[in-house]
Homo-oligomer: A and B are copies of this chain.
Amino acid sequence: MAQHKYLLNEDQMPTQWYNIVPDLPEPPPPALHPGTHEPAGPDDFAPLFPMDLIMQEVTQESYIDIPEEVQDIYKIWRPSPLFRATRLEQLLDTPAKIFYKYEGVSPAGSHKPNTSVPQAYYNAKAGVRKLTTETGAGQWGSSLAFACAQFGLECEVWQVAASYALKPYRKAMMEVWGATVHPSPSELTEFGRSLLAENPDHPGSLGIAISEAVAEAAPHDDVRYALGSVLNHVLMHQTIIGEEALLQMEMAGETPDVLVGCTGGGSNFGGLSFPFLREKMKGNMNPTIRCVEPAACPSLTQGEYRYDFGDSAGMTPLMKMHTLGHNFVPDPIHAGGLRYHGMSPLVSHIYELGLVEAESIGQTECFTGALQFAKTEGIIPAPEPTHAIAAAIREANRAKETGEETVILTALCGHGHLDLASYEAFLSGEMVDHELSTADIEAAMAEVPAVRSAH
């Protein structure tokens, strides 16, 4: 049987992140100040982020050195393995070769620590005492809790109340790493108190949790806020996934024909694909590169490309991105990490340039594929990367029809050990594919502000 694992040693771990921006044929449009609609400058971000991260957000350098302190912590789990899905290929009876880069080996079980660790590092370096953030299902909150523990930072997490009640294990994980976790809305912020006064059983939302985390960070000099996706510097930190995968595909002696990645805010997709897109733009390879999003939240395939807020409360700078409207609330699908109304401005821009494709897949097809994957490859995927697996299986089935030895590469961005309730729902037949409400999208889009700027 073909080799199953391609492993790199610690001394082969890439020591730089890749910034795709200078290599693009056109620069991405700037973020705009929410009040003036003029391009936002570093000072506009200073109450939320330390200057090192703000400079990474706008840098024109192609490569940024990974600090040694960050490399040391990355080496707890990095380089991560690249697997060839030999047993899944057998089950599918396909001539395709399926490779997957596995990020579930990280402490938090997902790709998120690739950015939480440097974010905690730069904040600690800037003298910050505490980081705040929001979390839904808990992947990001637990990743930031782990990172803060490494640098002696306090970590305060507002978790969407419905998840806080239904997912006690993610909360325990955050607490193991020393974080304080509040259900959101909470009594700790003015906004939270106002919502609880209206409804003491308010289920919360990501937008509300962001507002509470920001409200705690912005007024304090020694408190900052951390975001787990969407922004340029976050996607850049994730490029270590793709840089490693390039080395590992070379070890395997293969070049991808098709690269698929699940796409919520865009950090997993950008992390895997940007180094390969660089090689494609250089003419070194020619893979089709495709975003895979949930049918219930299809910002790229059905959203509009325009300026919108990053949060539901409309407090962030305006970003030009594919959006379903910042007040759009996706149906409660199991891939909570993909339920974001917008899309990373950088991924949106690259999609507009025609450099990548996009497709959407419903969750029952995703879990059907996930079960095939778990039975053969052994790893139980998180709900988010089941979309990537379903897309890879679609490609493998096409290859079976054409007889081509298509080389498929994807990222399995996390394991599903804390998401087994989703599998229970699927196995019991309770999981459904939600109908997308175009009326809801239209209503949400009507609330997106008209931008006066020329951008």
- Asked if A75 contacts B4 (CB within 8 A), the reply is yes
Interface size on A, residues (CB 8 A): 42
Complexed CA–CA distance, A10 and B420 (Å) = 30
Q: In whole angstroms, what is the CA distance A1 to B176 when docked? A: 25
- Report B-chain residues with C-beta under 8 Å of the C-beta of A76: 4, 87, 377-378
A375 at interface (Cβ–Cβ under 8 A)?
A: yes
Supposing A169-B421, A417-B417 touch, asked if A177 and B375 sit within 8 A by C-beta, the answer is yes
Could you tell me if B109 and A423 are in contact, using CB atoms closer than 8 angstroms?
Answer: no
Contact of A9 among B7, B168, B417 (CB under 8 A): B7
**Chain B residues near A75 (CB, 8 Å)?**
1, 4-5
Q: Beta-carbon contacts of A92-108 to B below 8 Å, as 1s and 0s?
A: 00000000000001110
Minimal beta-carbon separation of A9 from chain B (angstroms): 7
Any chain B CB within 8 A of the CB of A427? yes
In the bound complex, CA of A149 to CA of B9 (Å): 32
CB distance from A99 to the nearest CB of B (A): 15
Contacts of A427 in B (CB 8 A): 172, 175-176
**Quick one: which of A3, A109, A171, A378 has the most chain B CB within 10 A?**
A378
Q: A4-B10, A76-B87, A176-B427 are in contact. List 11 more A-B contacts (CB 8 A).
A: A3-B10, A5-B75, A7-B9, A76-B378, A77-B378, A149-B375, A168-B420, A173-B420, A173-B423, A177-B375, A178-B375
13 contacts between A and B (CB under 8 A): A5-B75, A106-B378, A107-B374, A149-B375, A168-B421, A169-B417, A171-B424, A172-B420, A172-B423, A173-B423, A175-B427, A176-B380, A177-B374
